[in-house]
Amino acid sequence: MSNKYHRLFEAPAFPNGVTLDSRFVMSPMVIDGSSYEGDVQADDLRFFERRAQTAAMLITGATTVSEYGNAFGYGLGNYRDDQLEGLTRLAEAMKSKGGESDDTALSSWSPSGLYV
């Protein structure tokens, strides 16, 4: 391999201490696998389980944070306490083959330096 691309395979580190194996990241995609209300369903889990080893980090698509913000339906929701169990299972599926999910790497850091 050309030395020109060696940085792609360096392990980046985030301010919260998480280090990735490489700089390859699966871009966020809305897959419409959730229930209309935003609850994680089997399609969500299967989608990310199948892709769990494709990149060092997987990022979910848009997530509705208010019941009134559900612009298109069937996307992930994170506005009710009972949705946390499904989102936890989703993060586990994303990390099932050794990668990181966006909840681990980015949950305490944002580009502005604010904790979120």
* Beta sheet of 25-29, edge-to-edge order: 25-29, 57-60, 100-101
Longest C-alpha distance within the chain, in Å?
50
* 60, part of any domain: yes
Residues 49-80: tens digit of each pLDDT: 999 988 888 888 888 888 888 888 899 999 99
* 110, part of any domain: no
* 68, part of any domain: yes
Give the pTM.
Answer: 0.76
| Cβ pair 109, 14 in contact under 8 A | yes
Number of domains in the chain: 1
Highest mean pLDDT among 12-21, 22-31, 33-42: 33-42
* 114, part of any domain: no
Q: Is the torsion defined by CA of 66, 38, 71, 114 positive or negative?
A: positive
* 17, part of any domain: no
| Domain of residue 55, residue span | 24-104
* 2, part of any domain: no
